[in-house]
């Protein structure tokens, strides 16, 4: 075989495309998908060891969370950034006005949310078209993806496919499957749930095809082949996504908008006109809600808590995370903390660094003497 990796992938993809999909071909297709995943991994490895592929935009994360504006050229991403933040990104009536990542900060309900305006994405961006791979590498690091859609050009699937091609999964979660290598015994698959999309035998053959010789596979969720391959590949990122339909000032038909809401079922959808400033408050609120942030009030030892200005953190954050947000000198000097509110078993409970906070908690951090 002297064909390149690209050619091998293409041949396998063509084969899947040509194969009738039914019960009898399921196994075969599963195996082909595993082969493709393996080859793509190899391809990624080569790309990232080659010089040019290492190129990325330098963006420093800041604030409580990072939001990426993803969309085709000229849908109004830069106009939106300018509406949401104090940044000033160039707006133009032609495609690819934005050639760099332009960051801005949206301050909302005491949260500082970093918004990244990006160059427009096009089909085959994941293969490198229009600096696509660099744009997508920025998207990989975002907590929330805003799919910006022109009211009359609503093909979001092209965008999602490009994200998927670089391992980004939108509005889903890692499958509950654990694969551990073993010394002997071949590939063993056990499932704790009824499997309706793929049986154990198929899971076994996909895992083997991917290159495992001995492994224990425990499946605790009704997954399909693609989800299993995501677990095998291991470098997927899971991000939230929502849809923003821009330029609604051009839409006169209310029914048309209803249809769009239907089309994007499963996503939060916000209709706006960035230019005419319609729907911006709702957009800000929806972004905030999707980021799943909470507020914690700090109480200096022996003083009243500051109930005016909360500290904003991610839902699920611990006392230790708060320490790190405040200053890096705090954790090494941490003695204990005292907590009031929803996460406390009783008001004034003493807790440690691992304690998980809840919205509205009041927290007092006690440092070591002299710390
Ligand atoms: N009618 C209307 N036009 C808009 C709206 N928002 C943006 N535009 C126009 O759409 C064009 C593109 O806007 P940009 O903000 O530059 O779009 P972009 O997505 O950043 O484009 P690229 O950087 O090239 O990918 C400009 O002519 C804007 O004035 C809107 O809400 N309504
Ligand atoms: Mg732009």
Identify the three-state secondary structure at position 242: strand
From 233, 263, 280, give the residue that closes a domain.
233
Do 77 and 136 have their domain in common?
yes
pLDDT at 321: 94
Q: How many domains does the chain have?
A: 3
pLDDT at 59: 82
46 Cβ neighbours under 8 A, 6+ residues apart:
5
Identify the three-state secondary structure at position 32: helix
CA distance 273 to 268: 17
CA distance 97 to 100: 9
CA 42 to centroid of ligand 2, rounded, Å: 33
pTM of the model: 0.86
Do 305 and 353 have their domain in common?
yes
Nearest bound ligand to CA 75? 1
90 Cβ neighbours under 8 A, 6+ residues apart:
78, 97, 98
Identify the three-state secondary structure at position 147: strand
Do 67 and 126 have their domain in common?
yes
Ligand 1 atom nearest the C-alpha of 94 is 24
Domain at 349, CATH number: 3.10.20.30
Q: Residue 12: is its pLDDT beyond 80?
A: yes
Do 249 and 101 have their domain in common?
yes
Average pLDDT over residues 10-18: 90
- Mean pLDDT score across all residues of the chain: 90
Q: For a pocket test of ligand 1, which of 92, 101, 139, 273 has the largest count of ligand atoms closer than 8 A to its C-beta?
A: 92
CA 53 to centroid of ligand 1, rounded, Å: 30
Do 163 and 95 have their domain in common?
yes
Which residue puts its alpha carbon closest to atom 27 of ligand 1?
A: 93
CA distance 168 to 72: 17
Do 197 and 247 have their domain in common?
no
142 Cβ neighbours under 8 A, 6+ residues apart:
66, 67, 68, 116, 239
Do 286 and 161 have their domain in common?
yes
Q: Residue 51: is its pLDDT beyond 60?
A: no
pLDDT at 283: 98
Do 244 and 137 have their domain in common?
yes
CA 69 to centroid of ligand 2, rounded, Å: 10
Residue ranges around ligand 1 (CB below 6 Å): 71, 73-79, 91-93, 95-98, 119-120, 246-247, 249-250, 273-276
Which range among 123-132, 194-203, 262-271 has the greatest average pLDDT? Answer: 262-271
Do 187 and 277 have their domain in common?
no
Do 101 and 161 have their domain in common?
yes
Q: Residue 58: is its pLDDT beyond 90?
A: no
Nearest bound ligand to CA 122? 1
Do 13 and 152 have their domain in common?
no
pLDDT tens digits for range 222-274: 998 889 999 988 888 999 999 999 999 999 888 898 899 899 988 999 999 99
CA distance 345 to 362: 13
From 273, 291, 309, give the residue that closes a domain.
291
Place 56 in a pLDDT band, splitting at 50, 70 and 90: low
Identify the three-state secondary structure at position 82: helix
pLDDT tens digits for range 70-85: 999 999 999 999 999 9
Do 131 and 261 have their domain in common?
yes
Domain at 86, CATH number: 3.40.50.300
Q: Residue 53: is its pLDDT beyond 50?
A: no
Instruction: Kindly report the backbone phi and psi dihedral angles of residue 219, in degrees, each rounded to the nearest multiple of 5, phi listed first.
Output: -110, 120
* Domain span including residue 78: 55-172+237-291
């Amino acid at each position: 075989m002297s064909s390149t990796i690209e050619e091998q992938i293409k041949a396998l993809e063509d084969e899947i495309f040509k194969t009738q999909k039914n019960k009898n071909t399921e196994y075969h297709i599963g195996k082909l998908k595993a082969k493709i995943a393996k080859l793509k991994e190899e391809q990624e490895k080569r790309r990232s060891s080659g010089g040019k592929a290492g190129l990325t935009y330098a963006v420093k994360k800041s604030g409580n969370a990072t939001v990426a504006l993803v969309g085709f050229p000229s849908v109004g991403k830069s106009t939106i950034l300018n509406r949401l933040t104090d940044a000033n990104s160039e707006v133009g009536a032609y495609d690819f006005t934005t050639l760099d990542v332009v960051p801005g900060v949206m301050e909302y309900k005491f949260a500082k949310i970093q918004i990244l305006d990006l160059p427009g994405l096009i089909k085959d961006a994941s293969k490198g078209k229009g600096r696509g791979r660099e744009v997508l590498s920025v998207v990989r690091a975002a907590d929330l993806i805003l799919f910006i859609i022109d009211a009359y050009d609503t093909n979001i699937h092209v965008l999602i496919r490009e994200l998927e091609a670089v391992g980004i999964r939108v509005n889903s979660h890692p499958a509950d499957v654990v694969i551990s290598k073993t010394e002997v015994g071949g590939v063993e698959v056990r499932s704790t749930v009824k499997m309706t999309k793929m049986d154990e035998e198929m899971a076994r053959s996909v895992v083997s095809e991917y290159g495992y010789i001995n492994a224990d596979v425990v499946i605790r969720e009704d997954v399909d082949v693609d989800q299993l391959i995501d677990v095998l590949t291991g470098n997927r990122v899971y991000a939230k996504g929502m849809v923003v339909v821009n330029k609604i000032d051009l839409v006169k038909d209310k029914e048309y908008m209803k249809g769009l809401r239907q089309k994007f079922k499963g996503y939060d959808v916000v209709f706006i006109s960035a230019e005419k400033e319609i729907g911006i408050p709702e957009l800000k609120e929806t972004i905030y809600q999707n980021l799943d942030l909470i507020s914690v009030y700090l109480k200096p030892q022996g003083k009243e808590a500051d109930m005016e200005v909360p500290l904003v953190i991610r839902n699920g954050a611990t006392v230790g995370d708060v320490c790190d947000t405040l200053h890096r000198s705090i954790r090494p000097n941490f003695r204990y903390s005292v907590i009031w509110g929803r996460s406390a078993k009783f008001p004034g409970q003493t807790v440690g660094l691992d304690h998980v906070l809840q919205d509205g908690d009041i927290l007092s951090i006690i440092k070591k003497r002299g710390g």
